Amino acid sequence: MNKVKFIYNPFSGENTIINDIDKVIMVHQNYGYNIDPFRISKEFRLEDAFANLDESYKYILIAGGDGTVDQVVNCMKGLKIELPIAILPTGTANDFAKFMGIPLNVEKACEQIINSEPKNIDIGKINNNYFVNVASTGLFTDVSQKTDVNLKNTIGKLAYYVKGIEQIPNLRKLSINVSSDEVNFNGDMYLMLVFNGQTAGNFSLAYKADLCDGMLDVIIIKAGMLKDIISLFIKMLKSEHLEDVKGLLYFKTNKLNIECFEDIVTDIDGERGPDFPVTIECIKGGIKVLGVVNTKNQKI
């Protein structure tokens, strides 16, 4: 019987996967797959999930948010495991899975995954760490790190917004040096986002994103007048195109270097990233993913 390694994070989102495990098993069993579950916890190393892999395993099914997917992908890369992955979006935001068109309904997602072919999708790499959706730095980028897990599980995305509002009084200019073949920026900014995906916190920002083009979408919100920043954030919240918007720099690149001497951290899909300086690059076709129906923004 074909096997599927099922790695799930019981703490992601509102813990919904706990109630859906039987559905995951049922759908796969109907198609002749045997589910081999591994529960993410502090008591066991994630590497233990892959200890018994052999040729009978057809793919890795991951239930959780973008951060959980990052953990599994990094572990697989470290162990040189090249099996396709599939994602059940059971986290708080699930930006990456939603961009690819994976349903939130677990049964529908499993059906879509099983009845698909693997697709080569780009991933990002920041120094020695991989990420699927977005790497960021500047104001608000450590919101997820500072947000209590119990609060996130209780009120979901609202917890991020509450913590973000708390940081507004700390709005200050941050000096940064960004270099790439396409653009060089040496100046003050408030926020920088480097997308492999399209959205952050379900806000559509990288509207040019394409998961198969071998490029990252970089957005830098420059430091400036408060009125300009407010206008910019309104456009971002309304998912409007950001061409020629005052105070914002948007470009595509496959590799960039960032230097910063401010007291700020990097963030990778809600988890703390490496310290500066960092090199961020796109690994074209870096992972095989099942269930994909969309790889680029379909808006006109």
Q: Domain coordinates of the chain in residue numbers?
A: 2-116, 129-282
Per-residue CA distances from 276 to 19, 22, 49, 283 (Å): 41, 44, 31, 20
Of the candidate CATH numbers 3.40.640.10, 2.60.40.10, 2.40.160.20, 2.60.200.40, the domain formed by 129-282 belongs to 2.60.200.40
pLDDT tens-place string over residues 62-72:
999 999 999 99
pLDDT of residue 143: 53
What letter represents residue 134's amino acid?
V
For residue 294, what pLDDT band results from cuts at 50, 70 and 90? very high
Asked if the domains at 2-116 and 129-282 fall in one CATH topology, the answer is no
Alpha carbon of residue 148 to chain centroid: 19
Handedness of CA 81, 213, 239, 298 (dihedral sign): negative
- The CATH architecture annotation of domain 2-116 reads 3-Layer(aba) Sandwich (3.40)
Over 70: is that where the pLDDT of 160 sits? no
pTM of the prediction? Answer: 0.88
Quick check: 103 pLDDT over 70? yes
DSSP 209-228: -BTTSS-EEEEEEE---HHH
- Take residue 185 and report the two structure tokens written for it: 């920026």
Interior CA angle at 156 toward 250 and 13, to 5°? 95
- With beta carbons less than 8 A apart as the criterion, state whether 263 and 142 touch: no
Neighbours of 15 (CB within 10 A): 12
Distances in Å between the Cα of 221 and the Cα atoms of 11, 26, 102, 233 are: 33, 47, 30, 10
240-256: pLDDT as tens digits: 666 667 788 999 999 99
Is the pLDDT at 211 greater than 90, yes or no?
Answer: yes
CA separation for the pair 190, 199 (Å, rounded): 18
- What residues contact 64, with CB distance under 8 A and at least 6 apart? 8, 9, 12, 13, 17, 40, 88, 90, 91
Average pLDDT over every residue of 21-28: 98
Q: What is the C-alpha separation between 255 and 243, in angstroms, rounded? A: 21
Overall average pLDDT of the 178-194 stretch? 95
Model confidence band, residue 192 (pLDDT cutoffs 50, 70, 90): very high
Longest CA–CA span in the chain (Å) reads 63
